[in-house]
Structure 1
Amino acid sequence: MVMPAALILGEQVVDHMFSRTGGMFGLWFPGVGKAVMLADPALVREVFRAPADVIDSSEANRVQEPVIGPQGLGRLDGAGHRQLRTIMLPPLRDHASLRLCETTALLAQRVVDQCPTGTPFALRPLLHTAMMEAVLSITMGVDRVRQRGEWHEPLRQLFRRADSYEITVRYGLRHAGGLALWPAYHRAKDACDRLIHAEIGRRRRRGEEGEDLLGLLMRARDERGARLTDQVLRDQVMSLIAGARTTTATGLAWAFERLVRHPDALRRLTAESDEGTQDVYARAVSYETLRVRPPVAFVGRVVRRPFELGGRRLRPGTTIIVHLRALHHQPGLYPDPTAFRPERWLGRRPGGYGWMPFGGGSHTCLGDQLSLMQMKTFLQVFTRSVTLSPAGARDEPIRWKAVSNSPGDDCRVVVRRRS
């Protein structure tokens, strides 16, 4: 069965389709064409273990191109992709070390201090600003107040459009000029690009690449021994900023949204944070949040050669979409799958193809461990410093925009200082 893509905006419709068809159904996307949507981990495993000449790992990420650029890591495949991952992975994993944990704790405390006391407010915007600040420091060494101020507004304007429904429509109509004829988007993108290229130029003139991630990329050479171009450098910077903002900041917003509506889990996390000797439960909260409310809505692949999947022969050009929330709610993998139960992760770690908030295969997000460290640290600092309660009794709805799922009310909470 093929259904128009507009209908998948309703989570109930998606659940109904999966209940009728099993873990796979067909649909049609404007600007993309035929696609299949998956929620069966066995089928997902087949896709992600297929040879690279059969299943393309990068083409489906083209929807991110308006922000990350045509040479962002998610848009590359083959030797170029492997080379950049080899360069970028060690420093990103190293940044999940004790030194950065301490820096993240200071940042989290600053966010706590910005929260109004005793009145409902939206926490998600503060978390997004904080994660943008953190990734700018890691990537480009932007750590002074004046520098952060220069970057904040251009990035805010760009991501305000990148998060909108408008970009989804315009991307679908890109062949008819939907993206090319969008002055507001191009002004915001150009402002961000000028900042990045100015920093690259400043470092080249001074001969000081720096010890941050941009510096490592500037010292790298491609397979021919040539430096990476300024455009490749720009696209990696924007890829990291976009990733941190989407997964980490939105994941944290969902963590707090879930915790304030599950007081037993919040009390257990607070007790662990107060004790200060371990992070087992904070990590479990992070795992469970990313399972039950994955910030990234979909993971995609494109068929290159005819491919048999679930008894269906997929033609070249077919897009395969893994619906992460439906995948993470499989009752065969998770008893009572819609319930928020961090305890299910005590003594175990996610594995296999039933938990994929950071994607999978060769295109797994490079910052996965960094993101988990930041989430865990923010959770512990907040619960040590304040008590949190919900601003409303009902769960916040899932708001789907572009490729992300975020809390429909921006995680509205009430904060009170602890003595």
Structure 2
Amino acid sequence: MTAGEVTVGEPSLPNGPPLPVLLQSFLFGKYRHRYIPLLRRRYGDIFTIRMAPHNRTIVQLTRPEDIKRVFTGSPDVFHAGEGNAVLEPIMGNRSVLLLDGGEHMRVRQLLMPAFNGAALRGYGNMIAEITRAQVATWPVGSAFAVQKYTQRLTLEIILQVVFGVTDEQRLAELRPVVAGVVDLNIVTMIGWYYKPLRRVWPWRRFAQLRSRLDELIYAEIAERRLATDLGRRTDVLSTLLSVSPQESLTDAELRDNLITLLLAGHETTATALAWALHDLARNDAVQRRAQQAADEGDTHYLEAVAKEAMRLHPVIYEVVRKLKQPVEIGGHLLAAGVSVMPGVGVVQSDPANFPHPEEFDPTRFIDSQPAANTWIPFGGGVRRCIGAGFSLVEAAAVLQEVLGRFDVVAERQRPEPAASRNITLAPSRGSRIVLKRR
């Protein structure tokens, strides 16, 4: 029986905590990296939680075989768009992350040429140039929270490489607005669905920021549509506008997907880089090997460093699919309307999947490859993140520039715990390091 087949019988749900929905939502939103492992110890490999908004029933999956059922199942049965509905206030309802079925495939196919192998090779020089300029401004010899600097760097890469904005005045307008929108936390996202809250802080401020960001993005789209040199431009927006009018995305679709690329490619990559530098600062042997790779241009090893940081410190702790038909998973017949949540963080820290999972060891991605559905920071199946390749190219370029110039030292040897930041998990102190010239 495949994951897409409809089964008959009496629907059942795994056990789960009997806590009130709002309390479960708070615990998940703020402490999911502690809450979910605790529930797994209490209830086993599959369990049920309930979440706001709309009192959603969510079944958490932590075994690779159950996660495989989701990723290989029919996208007509496992709706990722509906599962990501909490992101709609910020990304919009035309985002590739929130669409399902034929509309999702149409938008995804229009976006894909901007992220294929040839396109990624074309972005390399732009990313390297921006990275060199940015890293040259980082503090040397004194402790600082590197995540703030990786955020500035990845934002600059997104604005210039994805949006194609190079005018300094336009960049100066975009930077603070984008930073404000990115600071949206999960509680504010969920609260947006309760309309009376929109009249009060911080939801009123979010509405203002979103409106201003829309103005700037629509102005950029309108101006770019009039450009006569689209064929010579290499940024993502120009690539998307270079197709025939019959195939092109509408302005509203462009807006939602540019914001999706901005948020998915800015915050997540910046946080993954902060975690990578956090771990390199605490492992001299791995850092020396990574510096050798930087000197030799060995991007394969540098990508392995980034992959291992993503494994050990999952920036996104889970992905979600909403069932449109009953499906049997893990010995339970789950009814239509239930959401299933493959646990990225849990499966990547399971010693059954990664021996000594607490150790930072990039050779896991050099000597062999992880088993299927055990390393899933970009999701899986037909909904795998289209920007995965871009993210790894970007991470390797940044690590090469930083490690080619500096030794990275931890301010404190004790590791920083993860803390919830909107939908991501980041170093609690911003990954405080000291850079020393080699």
TM-score, normalized by the shorter chain, greater than 0.5: yes
Query: How far off is 1:234 after superposition?
Result: 0.5
Residue type of the alignment partner of 1:263: D
Q: Which residue of 11, 16, 30 maps to 1:2?
A: 16
Question: Is the counterpart of residue 62 in structure 1 residue 85 in structure 2?
Answer: yes
Residue 116 of structure 2 is aligned to residue 96 of structure 1 = no
The answer to whether the Cα contact below 8 Å between 2:77 and 2:323 also exists between their aligned partners in 1 is yes
2-structure distance, mates of 1:232, 1:287 = 31
Give the match's secondary structure for 1:389: strand
Q: Deviations over 1:195-221 (max 9, x none)?
A: 111122223455665643223333446
Percentage identity across paired residues of the two chains: 26
Task: Verify the 8 A CA contact 1:56 1:303 in the aligned structure 2.
Answer: yes
* 8 Å Cα contact 1:302/1:317 also seen in 2: yes
Seen in structure 2, the aligned counterparts of structure 1 residues 242 and 180 have a Cα distance that, compared at 3 Å, is farther
CA deviation after TM superposition for structure 1 residue 338, in Å: 2.0
Letter aligned with residue 128 of structure 1: Q
1:111 and 1:127 in contact (8 A); partners too: no
> Per the alignment, in what secondary structure is the counterpart of residue 320 of structure 2?
strand
CA distance in 1, matches of 2:357, 2:197: 39
Amino acid of the residue matched to residue 250 of structure 2?
T
SS of equivalent residue, structure 1 residue 255: helix
Distance 1:168 1:395, change over 3 A: farther
Single out whichever of 33-42 and 347-356 deviates more from structure 2: 347-356
1:109–1:169 distance in 2 versus 1, CA, 3 Å: same
2:274 to 239, 242, 253: 253
**Deviation at residue 71 of structure 1 after TM alignment:** 0.3
- Structure 2 Cα separation of the partners of residues 153 and 53 of structure 1: 39
Q: Equivalent residue for 2:219?
A: 198
Q: 1:227 to 1:375 in 2, by over 3 A?
A: closer
Contact 1:221 1:228 in 2 (8 A): no
Quick one: which amino acid aligns to residue 270 of structure 1?
Q
Flag the 1:227–1:343 CA change in 2: closer, same or farther, 3 A. Answer: closer
Which segment is superposed worse, 108-117 or 176-185? 176-185
SS at match of 2:97: helix
Q: 2:303 aligns with which of 249, 273, 283?
A: 283
Matches within 5 A, 1:105-254: 105-160=128-183, 162=184, 164-171=185-192, 174-179=193-198, 182-205=203-226, 211=233, 212-220=235-243, 225=246, 227-254=248-275
Q: Secondary structure at the match of 1:34?
A: strand
Q: Does the C-alpha gap of structure 1 residues 350 and 136 become closer, same or farther in structure 2, counting only changes over 3 Å?
A: farther
1:8-87 counterparts in 2 under 5 A?
A: 8=28, 9=31, 11-32=33-54, 33-87=56-110
Q: 1:20 to 1:340 in 2, by over 3 A?
A: same
Q: Tell me how far 1:389 sits from its aligned partner.
A: 0.5
1:119, CA displacement in angstroms? 1.1
For residues 262-341 of structure 1, what are the structure 2 equivalents within 5 Å? Answer: 262-274=283-295, 276-341=296-361
**SS in structure 1 at match of 2:319:** strand
The residue aligned with 1:342 is 362
Q: SS state of the match for residue 254, structure 2?
A: helix
CA contact (8 A) 1:396 1:409 kept: yes
2:384 corresponds to 1:360? no
Contact persistence 1:112–1:385 (CA under 8 A): no
Contact 2:76 2:100 in 1 (8 A): no
TM-score normalised according to structure 1 size:
0.92
Counterpart of 2:21?
Answer: none
Gaps of 5+ in 2: 1-14, 18-23
Change in 2 beyond 3 A, CA 1:178/1:2 = farther
Separation (CA, whole Å) in 2 of partners of 1:88 and 1:136: 17
Structure 1: give runs of 5+ residues left out of the alignment: none
Distance between the aligned counterparts of 1:363 and 1:104, measured in 2?
A: 26
CA contact (8 A) 2:318 2:341 kept: yes
Return the letter of the residue paired with 2:89: P
Secondary structure of the equivalent of 1:298?
Answer: coil
User: Residue 413 in 1 paired to residue 436 in 2?
Assistant: no
Is the CA contact 1:95–1:370 (under 8 Å) kept in the aligned structure 2?
Answer: no
> What amino acid does structure 2 have at the position aligned with 1:251?
A
3-state DSSP of counterpart to 1:396: coil
Deviation by residue 1:48-81 (Cα, 9 ceiling, x = unmatched): 2222332212111111112211101111122222
The residue type equivalent to 1:323 in the other structure is: G
Query: How many pairs are equivalent?
Result: 410
Q: Which moved more, 1:12-21 or 1:123-132?
A: 12-21
What's 1:402 paired with? 422
Residues of 1 paired with 2:221 and 2:294: CA distance? 41
CA gap 1:215/1:381 in 2 versus in 1, 3 angstroms? closer
* Most deviating of 27-36 and 178-187: 178-187
What is the SS of the residue equivalent to 1:37? strand
Render the CA deviation track for 1:310-334: whole Å, top value 9, x for unaligned: 1112122212122211111122211
Q: Give the C-alpha shift of residue 378 in structure 1.
A: 0.9
Give 4+ residue runs of structure 1 displaced > 6 Å after superposition: none
What root-mean-square deviation, in Å, do the aligned CA atoms of Structure 1 and Structure 2 show? 2.1
Within 2, Cα distance between the matches of 1:264 and 1:319?
43
8 Å contact 2:16–2:43 — kept in the other structure? no
The answer to which of 18-27 and 193-202 deviates more is 18-27
Given residue 78 of structure 1, which amino acid in structure 2 is its aligned partner? G
- The CA deviation string for residues 103-141 of structure 1, in whole angstroms up to 9 with x for no partner, is 222222223211112111111111111111111222221
Amino acid at match of 2:280: L
Q: Which amino acid in structure 2 is aligned with residue 102 of structure 1?
A: N
Q: Which residue of 1 aligns with 2:8?
A: none
Q: How many Å apart are 1:20 and its aligned residue?
A: 3.3
Q: Distance in 2 between matches of 1:178 and 1:320?
A: 28
TM-score (norm 2): 0.88
- Give the drift of 1:349: 3.9
